[in-house]
Amino acid sequence: MNAPDSRFAIAPEQRTLPGVIEGRLREWIIEGVLEPGARLNERVLCEQLEVSRTPLREALRRLAHDGLCEVIPNRGAFVTRMSREAVLESFQVMGALEALSAELACARITDLEVDEIEALTFEMRACHARRDLPEYYRYNRAIHERISRAARNELLADLSQRLNLRIQNLRFRSNQVPKKWEAAVQEHVRMVELLRARDSATLAALMREHIARKADSVLVTLD
Q: What is the DSSP letter of 177?
A: S
pLDDT, position 14: 56
**pLDDT tens-digit map of 108-151:** 999 999 999 999 999 999 999 999 999 999 999 999 999 999 99
Range 12-79 has CATH code 3.30.230.10: no
Assigned CATH class of 84-222:
mainly alpha
Give the least confident one: 2-6, 88-92, 150-154, 192-196: 2-6
**pLDDT tens-digit map of 68-89:** 999 999 899 999 999 999 999 9
Confidence of residue 2 (pLDDT cuts 50, 70, 90): very low
Q: Residue 93 class from Cβ within 10 Å (0-12 exposed, 13-18 middle, 19+ buried)?
A: middle
Q: Which residues, listed in sequence order, are joined to residue 72 by a DSSP beta bridge?
A: 76
pLDDT, position 1: 37
pLDDT, position 223: 65
Order of strands, sheet of 39-40, starting from the edge strand that comes earlier in the sequence: 39-40, 76-79, 69-72
**Residue 138 region, left (φ>0) first, then alpha (ψ -120 to 50), else beta?**
alpha
The CA-based angle 2-141-190, given to 5 degrees, is 110
Per-domain boundaries in the chain: 12-79, 84-222
Confidence of residue 25 (pLDDT cuts 50, 70, 90): very high
CA distances, 190 to each of 118, 207, 209 (Å): 10, 10, 12
**pLDDT tens-digit map of 165-206:** 999 999 998 888 899 999 999 999 999 999 999 999 999 999
Contact 41, 79 (CB under 8 A): no
**Quick one: the chain helix, strand, coil %, rounded to 5?**
75, 5, 20
